C-alpha cells in the first residue's frame, strides 16, 4: 500500500461520513473522503471548480504541488442529505471555508503531514498552514 493509502486508512472510520473537526479551538462541520475512490475527472473537477486551484497555484510557489499535496477533505457548509457513505460524491461540499491536504512528498508510511488552506470561493494564497504531523493527530469526531 502507498503512503497515501496508509495515511487514509488511519482515518477510515471518518471517511464519507458527517464529522466535525476542531483546530485552533474552532469546531467546524467537515467531510473527509478517500481520493482513491474518486474518478480522476471528479477529483480534477473538485480542484478546478470547487477550489479554483489552478488560477492561484503559482501564488503558492512550490508549497502546494497538486501531485504531492493531495486534498482529502474540507470544512464549511456540508450538505449531509445524501447518503455519503454509499454515493461517494463531492457535491455535498457547498460552501468550503477550509480544505485539507496531506503532503505525500514529505510523508512516510507512519506519518504524513497535514495542511489546511483557507477557501473563500477559491483557495486563498498565503494561508497554507501545517496543522498536524499525521492524519491520526487530527481532532475529528463523528456527528
How many domains would you assign to the chain? 1
Amino acid 86: pLDDT? 66
Instruction: Give residue-wise pLDDT tens across range 30-46.
Output: 999 999 988 888 888 88
Smallest Cα–Cα separation from 112: which of 25, 37, 5, 12? Answer: 5
Query: Does pTM surpass 0.95?
Result: no
Note the pLDDT tens digit of each residue in 83-142: 666 666 777 777 889 999 999 999 998 999 999 999 988 888 889 999 999 999 999 999
Residue-level pLDDT at 85: 63
For the segment 50-62, the average pLDDT, to the nearest whole number, is 76
Residue whose entry in the numeric block shows the C-alpha cell 493509502? 5
pLDDT of residue 51: 82
So what's the pLDDT on residue 111?
94
Q: Could you tell me the residue range of the domain that residue 51 belongs to?
A: 3-142
Is the four-CA dihedral 103, 46, 140, 36 of positive or negative sign? Answer: negative
How big is the chain by its Cα radius of gyration, in Å? 14
**CA 9/CA 12 separation, integer angstroms:** 5
Amino acid at each position: 500500500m502507498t503512503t497515501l493509502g496508509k495515511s487514509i486508512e488511519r482515518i477510515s472510520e471518518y471517511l464519507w461520513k458527517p464529522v466535525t473537526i476542531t483546530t485552533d479551538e474552532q469546531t467546524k462541520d467537515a467531510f473527509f473522503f478517500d481520493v482513491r475512490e474518486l474518478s480522476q475527472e471528479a477529483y480534477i473537477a473538485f480542484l478546478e471548480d470547487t477550489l479554483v486551484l489552478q488560477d492561484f497555484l503559482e501564488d503558492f510557489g512550490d508549497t502546494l504541488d497538486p501531485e504531492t499535496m493531495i486534498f482529502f477533505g474540507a470544512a464549511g457548509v456540508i450538505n449531509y442529505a445524501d447518503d455519503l457513505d454509499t454515493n461517494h460524491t463531492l457535491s455535498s461540499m457547498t460552501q468550503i471555508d477550509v480544505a485539507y491536504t496531506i503532503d505525500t512528498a514529505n510523508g512516510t508510511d507512519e506519518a504524513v503531514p497535514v495542511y489546511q488552506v483557507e477557501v473563500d470561493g477559491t483557495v486563498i494564497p498565503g494561508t497554507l498552514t501545517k496543522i498536524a504531523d499525521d492524519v491520526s493527530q487530527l481532532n475529528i469526531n463523528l456527528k
